[in-house]
Chains A and B, each alone.
Chain A
């Protein structure tokens, strides 16, 4: 951009800043500036685009009017400049303005499809291929909104303060906007015992207020109390400790990958890695090990708490190989020895070490010569989303106060939600324990947590606790600032080799792998639950995926009007050559008027090749569409009575031939399609064409019947070869006529 351009742009920007009303005068002025500086049009367009993007909601519409005015008065070059960004400009604005403004925008959009008022050119303000995507997106968003709106409605109806406050319009509890199929398409009536749908409740939801029929109500019972007391006391098992640290590193890494910019996470992860290194390289006295163990236990609880935030019982809350104490004694008949054979390190020692660890705090307290309660109480109020049940005091709780001494280590040892030790353990009030570990039962106001929410994690606020501790125990020199930036390992893949295909190995809970099917895959799609990573590539995929959802939303409605039918299955060859491509629409092979695939087979003739009786061409058969001949007294054919229907194909100028079709027992025009108007709604605007002629003319245009996710590789080529044959046959046919 040259200097003058820059100047013009700056002036324009300034003028725009002041534009806060729809004052015609100002808009005209700005339009004139744009007109006079059309040679700097690109700069102006950029400034305006930027302004619309950044303007507060109140200033958005005036700015859009400027755009509208410029484009209509100075279409060249501005329509060209705004065109590529039109979608973003429009949709971006649409999302931020209120509904009154949206209506104005809708009106504006409408005018863009029309020729400029007063202009001789019949060209629309913006070409349809720029406007249509916007219309589609709006339609899709409306549909999607309905879904969302309705589900929010459900919350509201249950008195749940969820989601943005929306109107209190009562809405049926389910039903997607696009869902209800028209009644008319149902079979006359169904097999009595299996009425698949009833006309009254097309979306399959009984709108009756009858309470659900008897059946055992899904009342939650606490898991059966069982399992003996915690295991016997012992000292610190270093392998166990190492393993715990390894788990925390994994957890921390996961946390870090999700929240790269949180320094505290990074610092903590660095400390953990350092700690791991120390443990691996040095022989530490038992006392220091205990101190570390203590700290690690705390950290485990906190990181767990943090990881828990988004969802009630956290996937990451599970401890890898750590079998809960009772497991080794009661549930798993497999003796620890066997376990360690199947478990590659570091997991192996863990199982054996579990029981000792449980008693740790007491031991630790003794060893350190201070009351165990000195172990910093950890506020965990935020930890499990379910609000504590009445048994607890609410507000902030220390784990110790809830669970008693030993709980930290117990939790560390059995990081998965364990069965309450109701009978054996004197201290923990079972209710509180349950509240900690699992969603509460008889507490309907259980709140779905917001999908992503940075956890306010006690330890995150003091990430250097571990470092401080390490320093204090003389394991680590220097000051916090000198802590080396940690090398962040990439997310460790689940180590497959520890699982063998034996029933003993398969039965060992490896709950640390669970996140690989859940959180590690990224947040789920709100429509279908499919997860997408938060990486750049993942975002792109997600965008494509959401686009797909919206396209489908829209097309479902269209398709319902059109009437659909089950497609024939593809041939063996097509199946072998097909390729699943998630979120990619089925695309007709290029150069084909009609894809002739699973999505548009109009009879049973597709698929197989050769040996067909009578040697009818594939294309000819595929295009075999007919209508009841209008002039032979056909009933309900092309418009009632058929008067005024063209009897000559407008494309090839040939008369339609009537013939008696056995299967309908009526006279029909073969290879005929009705275009325009609504079938059966009078003859207005409706023309009959040869199906084949119509397709030829519209070759490549017709992309309406896309099928999601399937691309037939190699099909295009094969069909083109066949088309070659068709050409010849077609030529012969024409000659014969």
Chain B
């Protein structure tokens, strides 16, 4: 309701930061990078524009921070921007045909058609789309766009990530999934899928998203491939159960973001985030095929790798549900920057901070409590080769100073559960060890809520400890 003339409030300071206008032609992008220390504002003055598939409201000032992102217009738009940018530029597309978004949009409309077909006949199963490719090909961005566009057309698709580096609605090191039914948070540094978009005890101006997550606690798949596969299976079966029970979600289908796999000429490379390549035997493609099976993928979108496309084509041509698997390779959009190590590290830290303390829109009040060593149960993956049969997967972690500043995953399990159960349990949250006093056998733990820590916790090996979280 608008009540004109209501509540003329407060006179306030008049110093406005310099604003300027960014004009976007149809199918051009405004790309920007904003450091975690600064903020910028963006307002859509005319036309239509969107971030990762979610439209900007007209004349609403969005506050942006800590991100490398882009705002795209398909119809042309005028933006008003202000604030500090590390870098910023407009990428024009000479013609729509030259824009990668043409293919993305077509892909969306194709998926939309499949959804309609699915609900009109057949099993009601919407498309299960796996997006894969080498690093810096815009996989996550495409995944978000496909989800955003689908929700705009009133679909309720699942977005899943099996890339432990992402931290989709979770801390990094987690494989997760969530149903998206409403707009994403345009202001979220992660484009609406950051951990800041998960529920808190208070209301949220942008609808929260409810994830299910499994804690991998490693950066790379190959660091513990067996665990990764087990967790992909768990996540896949949760998503299948979800789509099975909810007709709307079933129709909406699933979009799965995957770890970077750089496949070339018979060898599989997995790229580190700092650009170093690790050659590895078949793991990458095997991993993808594992995802295809566990999520009953029937559409594979490869970004920027005809070789990978060819390899995947040679593998299997039937989905778990018996449908033909369709595979397409799309060009990698140019200008996707490979994120440097420092940037990614700072993003991870910021995510951890968001998780406990909230963001600029929601300040949260976590608690710091002191626990006796005997009051907590912390496990850690057994390192190295284990010759036991069956192999012991977890062991009680010895609590030492070394644990300081690490985030621990709190598992939805009981401390008395079998280790295997704990290892594959969904994560219900995280705590951060802020201090360990070995002499007094007490430790201080930062936790979103106060209360006893009765759940088993897992000490992963990634993301790295966040030393100054508590100052």
Contacts and interface: CB of A to CB of B under 8 A. Distances in A.
B76 A211 contact: no
Given A145-B3, A145-B7, A506-B330, A188 B470 contact: yes
B452 A663 contact: yes
Contacts of A559: 201-203
B410 interface: yes
A231 to B, nearest CB: 16
Contact of B106 (A177, A207, A510, A569): A510
B355 to A, nearest CB: 6
Contacts of B370: 662-665
A219 B22 CA distance: 7
Nearest to A578: B210
Given A141-B2, A194-B350, A318-B96, A528 B24 contact: no
A737 interface: no
A718 interface: no
B471 A189 contact: yes
A440 B106 contact: no
A501 interface: yes
B353 A196 contact: yes
B363 interface: yes
Interface string A28-69: 000000000000000000000000000000000000000000
B200 interface: yes
**Most chain B beta-carbon neighbours within 10 Å: one of A169, A599, A604:** A604
A84 B13 CA distance: 44
B46 A385 contact: yes
A564 B364 contact: yes
Interface stretch (A286-294, A360-368, A550-558, A646-654): A550-558
Main secondary structure of the interface of A (DSSP, over half): loop
Nearest to B76: A313
A206 B179 contact: no
Interface in B377-434: 410, 412-417, 426-429
A194 B353 contact: yes
Interface stretch (B51-59, B289-297, B311-319): B51-59
A428 B412 CA distance: 68
Interface residues of A, number: 188
A252 B34 CA distance: 43
Contact of B75 (A312, A327, A513, A527): A312
A554 B207 CA distance: 15
Interface in A521-543: 521, 524-531
B363 A560 contact: yes
A201 B37 CA distance: 12
Given A529-B183, A613-B416, A154 B106 contact: no
B114 A496 contact: yes
A166 B59 CA distance: 16
Given A102-B6, A528-B183, A416 B109 contact: no
Interface in A610-662: 610-613, 621, 624, 662
Interface string A601-613: 1111111101111
Contact of A604 (B45, B213, B328, B454): B454
Contact of A599 (B199, B448, B450): B199
**Most chain B beta-carbon neighbours within 10 Å: one of A212, A323, A600:** A212
A417 B76 contact: yes
B19 A173 contact: yes
Contacts, number: 561
B204 A552 contact: yes
A23 interface: no
B198 A567 contact: yes
B48 A612 contact: no
Contacts of B310: none
Contacts of A102: 6
A98 interface: yes
Contacts of A209: 15-18
A95 B25 CA distance: 39
Given A167-B8, A216-B88, A610-B414, A191 B362 contact: no
B468 A191 contact: yes
A493 B471 CA distance: 56
A172 interface: yes
A119 interface: no
B334 to A, nearest CB: 15
Interface string B223-251: 00000000000000010011001101100
Nearest to A183: B363
Contacts of B470: 187-188
Interface string A684-717: 0000000000000000000001111110000000
Interface stretch (B78-86, B159-167, B273-281): B78-86
Given A314-B75, A528-B206, A576-B212, 10 more contacts: A94-B3, A149-B7, A166-B8, A169-B10, A193-B37, A209-B15, A219-B90, A315-B74, A514-B75, A708-B203
23 contacts: A154-B43, A176-B205, A191-B469, A193-B37, A212-B83, A223-B95, A312-B47, A324-B95, A416-B26, A444-B21, A494-B113, A496-B114, A496-B117, A508-B102, A518-B55, A527-B57, A529-B58, A567-B448, A569-B212, A604-B449, A665-B370, A708-B207, A709-B208
